[in-house]
Amino acid sequence: MSAIDKILDRLDGVKKTGDRRYIAKCSAHDDRSPSLSVRETDEGRVLIHCFGGCGTDDVCTSLGLTLADLFEKPLRHNLPPVRGGFSARELLELTSHEALIAAELADTATTRQLSPEEAQRLIQASARLLKARTLANGH
């Protein structure tokens, strides 16, 4: 079962709003009208946003899922430090991955305080993105 199907099958009031875009009732709070935006990316990742203020982790928990269930392919959380010698494609994949982690942790930080491990991972993602920018600029 795809990541998007796992999510949509567990939600109530799902309505398609566009190509790979949906809105549904948020399962993390008493939602009388749909306030949960659900979108599938080209890579099979599922992005969710509750306009009622629920965090992504809270929505996943209420559905009996984890953040990992939002991804078609498992994420590698312990990537090696950025070093020279990456191809342009590898650098793009790395920055995409780190940006996604940073975005997820930033979203989580809007609803609760990050754990020390999460805060450290956010700092690591930021450092890796800065290093990738330096490598991309040929320094």
Confidence class for position 82, pLDDT limits 50, 70, 90: very low
Tell me the HSE value of 107 on the side-chain side, using a 13 A CA sphere: 19
Confidence class for position 39, pLDDT limits 50, 70, 90: very high
Residue among 19, 68, 18 at smallest CA distance from 45: 68
Q: How does DSSP classify residue 79?
A: P
Mean confidence (pLDDT) of the chain: 85
Distance CA 135, CA 42 (A): 26
What pLDDT, in 10s, does the model give residues 46-69?
999 999 999 898 999 999 998 888
pTM above 0.75, yes or no: no
pLDDT at 98: 87
Q: Cα dist. 6→16, 30, 70, 108 in Å?
A: 16, 21, 9, 21
- 107 versus 73: the higher-pLDDT residue is 107
